[in-house]
Amino acid sequence: MPELSRVLVTGGSGFIAGHLILRLLADGYRVRTTVRNINRENDIRATLGRAGAEVDRLDIVAADLTSDGGWDEAVRGCEFVQHVASPFPARQPDNEDEIIIPAREGTLRVLEAASAHRVRRVVITSSFAAIGYSPKPSGQPYDETDWTDTNDPVSPYVKSKTVAERAAWDFAARPGSPEVAVVNPVGVFGPPLDGNLSTSVQIIDALLHGRPPLLPRASFAVVDVRDVADLLIRAMTDPRAAGQRYLAAAGQPVTLPDIAAVLRRRLGAAAAAVPRHQLPDWAVRAAARFAPPLRELSGLLGTPKAVNNSKAITQLGWHPRPIADTVTATADGLLRLSSAVAADR
């Protein structure tokens, strides 16, 4: 296989970044990735190696979104940059600037370094959070023309993704800036590479363990992490993607009870603990007043947010997996991890 260009992937220990690195290496690219703590290098190499990656074409360097140090070295010699890293707190911070400032300033640091080293294109992994958290007329789908209004009552995370993407497009408008493309995934599921589970994958893990015992009718759109990686590469290489946003969704939103039903239907005995009974919306909203973790969930009740994923499909030839296959692959991956941990004991 001929050796292709070098690509920088920021945030190499993350869920999306891990699958993106796997795909880039499989496609023949040389890859450099950043981590905040270089002590993570051996773990990342081991994780990717177990997944079948040829890690001899992978360089790992230290760089932090909150500091200027390391970004010049990280970008030097790269033709493309995939900016995936972004703060994702375990809980919403009391001070929204704790997440908004690193997201915005980190994106600008990456773009400044990319501009200085004449990178051809920067692809930014944004989020549906930057598209779909301001009201639309009932039933109208969200697409790439929509923006979340940060003046609306949105969470710090949603605001951070919107502010960071807006800053990226402002930067891209400067003369001499590298090409920019943006991918906005919905809830990202798929097979985990290690035990450091993303927030979305934790939902499937909880269901397999019987939590919550009563299922809220929260709804969200789903996309497979492997399809996100595929779209990120298409956005990197296709000339038509320069200056474009792409909503990454496999289809219309599904509810938590829908996902539970897929697990029971596809996994049989392995899904014995998956809850069956639903919790009324009014009960979720009432409990959310006293249980902060339920506040985000209560915002996903009611009419699902319809999405339009046709732009990535028609313009870039992207073909996402069916949602049921993604849910099943996520659960299968979690079960394999659990078996591997048990075997090591």
What pLDDT is attached to residue 4?
76
SS3 state at 103: helix
Which residues on neighbouring strands pair with residue 61, listed in sequence order? Answer: 34
CATH classification at residue 69? 3.40.50.720
Q: Do the domain assignments include residue 264? A: no
316: helix, strand or coil? helix
User: Domain range holding 45?
Assistant: 6-191+222-251+305-322
37 closest CA partner among 61, 2, 71: 61
Token digits of residue 268 = 């049989």
The answer to whether residue 258 is domain-embedded is no
Look up 161 and say whether it is catalytic.
yes
Taking a C-beta distance cutoff of 8 angstroms, is the pair 142, 307 a contact?
yes
- Let me know if residue 261 belongs to a domain: no
Residue-level pLDDT, tens digit, the chain, 345 residues: 446 799 999 999 999 999 999 999 999 999 999 999 999 999 999 999 999 999 999 999 999 999 999 999 999 999 999 999 987 665 667 788 889 999 999 999 999 999 999 999 999 999 999 999 999 887 899 999 999 999 999 989 999 999 999 999 999 999 999 999 999 999 999 999 999 999 999 999 999 999 999 999 999 999 999 999 999 999 999 999 999 999 999 999 999 999 999 999 999 999 999 999 999 989 888 887 877 666 777 778 889 999 999 999 999 999 999 999 999 999 999 999 988 766 665
Q: Residue 282: inside a domain, yes or no?
A: no
Task: Please report whether residue 343 resides in a domain.
Answer: no
- Closest to 208 (Cα-Cα) out of 325, 335, 324, 300: 335
Single out the catalytic residue among 136, 159, 161, 305.
Answer: 161
The tally of domains found in the chain comes to 1
Residue 276 lies in a domain: no
> Is residue 61 situated within a structural domain?
yes
Burial class, 208, CB count within 10 angstroms (exposed 0-12 / middle 13-18 / buried 19+): buried
Question: Identity (one letter) of the amino acid at 156?
Answer: P
At 340 the pLDDT is: 75
Mapping DSSP onto H, E and C, the string for 5-55 reads CEEEECCCCCHHHHHHHHHHHHCCCEEEEEECCHHHHHHHHHHHHHCCCCH
Say if 18 falls within a structural domain. Answer: yes
